[in-house]
Structure 1
Amino acid sequence: MKKRVISSALSALLAAGVLAGCGNTVKVPEASGTTEANTQETTETQTSDEKADVTVIHAATSAHPRPFTYIDEDGNLTGQNIELIKAVFDKLPQYELEIEVTEFSSIFTGIDAGTYDLGVNNIAKNPEREAKYLYTDPEMVNHYIAVVNKDIAIDSIKDLTELAGKKYTGPAGNDKTTVVENYNDAHPDKTITIDYTDADLLTLLYDVESGKEDFLIMDAPIYNGYYGPEFNLDVNIFDLSDVKSASYSYFIVAKDNTKLAEDINGALKQVIDEGISTEIDIKYLGEDFSPRITENK
C-alpha cells in the first residue's frame, strides 16, 4: 500500500495558508533542495516496512474442474474456488496471495516440498491426505448425483443395487469411485463393473450418453453449474443423497502451518456470514452451496 507523505516544509506552508485554489494543481515552492529527496526516502522506507509485514502465500490450483477453477476465454484464472479464496484473503491484509497453475498431483507434492503454502482445488478429504495435510473449515457443502444412460430403466437410486451389473466409469482414487468400490465390497453378489480411466470428465459424460458406459458419479455443483447447461446432454440424473450423505470441499495447507489454517478459517467464516460466498456460488454453480456450519467437518 502506497502512502502519501507530506514533508514538514510543505506542512508548514499549508498551515500558513500559502496553498490556495480549488480543483487545480498548485505548484508549491520547495523549502530546500533536499525536500523532494527526503520525501522520496521516507515514502520508500514506509513502503518497504509495510511489505516487510506482509507474508506472501503461494497457492496452487490445477485450473480444473470447471466451474471451481479454470482458465476463461480471456486467459484469466477464475472459478468458484478462485473467487472464494481471493475474497478470503481480502480479509487478511497480513498476507499477499499468489496463485499458480500446476498439475493436480503437484499441488500436494508442492506443499510437501514447501513450494506451495495452500491448495485451492475443490479438495475432498480422504484418510491419506488427512494424515499429511491440514484441512481448513469446509468451503462448500456438496452432494453427489449419478449421470445415467437414458436407456437404463430405473426411477430412482436408493443404494446402488439398482445399477448392479452395470458399468461405472471413473478415475482410481477418486472419492466417487470409492463410493462404488465400497458398494462392491458390501454387495459381492451384486457388483458393479468399474472401468478405471484418466479421461477428462466431458469425455466420460459423452461415453455415458452414447452407451459406451452406463453411469458415472459426479458433484452436483459441477453438473448443474457447467456441464448440464453448457452441453445439454441427453442423460438421466439421479440424486444420490440416500447413497452418500453430504460431503464437503476444503482448502489445504501444510500440516505444520496451523496459523495460516486458523487465519483462513476466521476469514472464511466472515465471507460466508456476510453472504459473499453465496453470491460467488450462485454466479458459478447456479445455487448456494455455502456450508452453514461452524465445526470442522
Structure 2
Amino acid sequence: MTRKNYVLGSLFLSISAIGALSGCSSEEAASATGDQVITVGTQNDYPPFAFADDSNELTGYDVEMVKVIDERLDGYTFEFVAVPWDSMFLALESNKIQAIADQVAKTPERQEKYLFTNESYFAAETVIAVKTGREDIQTVEDLEGKSVGALAGDSYTLLLEEYNETADTPIDLKYSESGNPSEMLQDVQNGRVDAYVNDPIMIDAVLEKNDLGVEIVGQPLVNDDMGIVLKNGEEGEELKALIDPILKELKEDGTLAELSIKWTGGEYIPE
C-alpha cells in the first residue's frame, strides 16, 4: 500500500484559497502515485475532535479517523483543510472540499440535503454548560427566557431553534460571529450569556485547557450519531461505497474504540 503524505491547509472565509502549512503538498504526492485527491474540511478549534496542535497541524479524533481510512483506501489521498463552521457546508456545496469530518450529526434535515456515510463513527451527547455554582438551570425548559450562546447551523443550535417553535417563552439565542467554543464558554463564565449547549467531551477539553469556571449540569438533552459528510453526486456516492466498509471494519477490529479512548478517555462508538 502506498504511504500517504498529509498536508494541512487553511480554508478562509472567502473559501477561495487553500494554503499549505507544512510539508510537501498532498497534490504532489497524489500526482506521484496517481491517487485522486479528496479535500476534507474540519475545524481547527474543536478539541479533542479537530484542532490545530502546537505545530499548527490539524489533529484530533476526527482527523486521525480519516487518516486511518486513507491508509486503508488505495487510489485516494486525503488532504485536510481548516474551515470555519459557518463556511463548512458552503465549501462542500461549491466543491472547495469534497468531504467533512467535523462531528456533524446525521439529522434528517441534513441527510435530505447532503450525503452521509451509512456507518457512524462517533456517538455524541448534547449537554448544558453554565457558570460554576449556578443552580437554576438543569433542563432545556430552564433555558426559556435566558440567553444561550449559539452558532448558526450547528446541530446544538438547531435543537434549540426547534424547541423555540413551541416554547411558551423562547430561549434567547445569542449567535456568535467567531464560532469559537472557548470564547462562548468564556461568555458563560463572564455572565454575557446564561448557558451554552454543546458536546460534553469538547466542553471538558476547553474547560481544562482554559481553566474556566464553567460546569456541565443536568442530563444529556439528546444523543446523536456522527457521520462523514460527502459531496453530493456521483463522486460522493462512489467514495461513500468505499468508505462505509472501511468504517465498519474499523468498528469491528477495535480501531475506532482505541482512537476514542485515546482522544476522549472513553469508548463512544455507535453500533
For this structure pair, what is the TM-score category when the shorter chain's length is used for normalisation?
Answer: 0.7 to 0.9
1:76 aligns with 2:57: yes
| Superposition map of 1:236-247 within 5 A | 236-241=215-220, 243-244=221-222, 246-247=223-224
Contact 1:64 1:121 in 2 (8 A): no
Per the TM alignment, residue 127 of structure 1 is displaced from its structure 2 partner at its CA by 5.0
Cα distance in 1 for partners of 2:47, 2:81 equals 16
- The AA in structure 1 aligned to 2:212 is L
List per-residue Cα deviations over 1:132-160 (Å, max 9, x = no partner): 32101211110011001235324843xx2
The answer for the alignment partner of 2:151 in structure 1 is 171
Q: Secondary structure at the match of 2:46?
A: coil
Q: Secondary structure at the match of 1:57?
A: strand
Cα distance in 2 for partners of 1:119, 1:80 equals 13
Per the TM alignment, residue 105 of structure 1 is displaced from its structure 2 partner at its CA by 4.5
- The AA in structure 2 aligned to 1:147 is A
Deviates more, 1:264-273 or 1:116-125: 116-125
Contact 1:143 1:240 in 2 (8 A): no
Contact 1:144 1:239 in 2 (8 A): no
1:94 aligns with 2:71: no
What 5-or-longer segments of structure 2 have no aligned partner? 3-29
Could you tell me the TM-score, scaled by structure 1's length?
0.72
CA separation of 1:98 and 1:191: change in aligned 2, threshold 3 A? closer
Contact 2:128 2:138 in 1 (8 A): no
CA separation of 1:114 and 1:150: change in aligned 2, threshold 3 A? closer
Q: Secondary structure at the match of 1:99?
A: strand
List per-residue Cα deviations over 1:143-200 (Å, max 9, x = no partner): 011001235324843xx22333322121232321222222222222x43222222242
What 5-or-longer segments of structure 1 have no aligned partner? 3-47, 293-297
Runs of 4+ in 1 over 6 A off after TM superposition: none
The answer for the alignment partner of 2:126 in structure 1 is 144
Contact 1:277 1:290 in 2 (8 A): yes
Q: 2:112 aligns with which of 117, 131, 146?
A: 131
The answer for the alignment partner of 2:230 in structure 1 is 253
The answer for the alignment partner of 1:283 in structure 2 is 262
Q: How many residues align?
A: 240
Q: Secondary structure at the match of 2:37?
A: strand
1:181 aligns with 2:161: yes
- Identity, in percent, stands at 24
The answer for the alignment partner of 1:195 in structure 2 is 174
Q: 1:57 aligns with which of 38, 60, 65?
A: 38
Cα distance in 1 for partners of 2:188, 2:148 equals 9
Deviates more, 1:133-142 or 1:56-65: 56-65
Q: Secondary structure at the match of 2:101?
A: strand
Contact 2:70 2:77 in 1 (8 A): yes
CA separation of 1:60 and 1:161: change in aligned 2, threshold 3 A? closer
CA separation of 1:59 and 1:178: change in aligned 2, threshold 3 A? closer
The answer for the alignment partner of 1:220 in structure 2 is 200
The answer for the alignment partner of 1:13 in structure 2 is none
Cα distance in 2 for partners of 1:258, 1:76 equals 29
| Greater radius of gyration (CA) | 1
Per the TM alignment, residue 83 of structure 1 is displaced from its structure 2 partner at its CA by 0.3
The answer for the alignment partner of 2:249 in structure 1 is 270
Per the TM alignment, residue 108 of structure 1 is displaced from its structure 2 partner at its CA by 2.9
Q: Which has the higher strand share?
A: 2
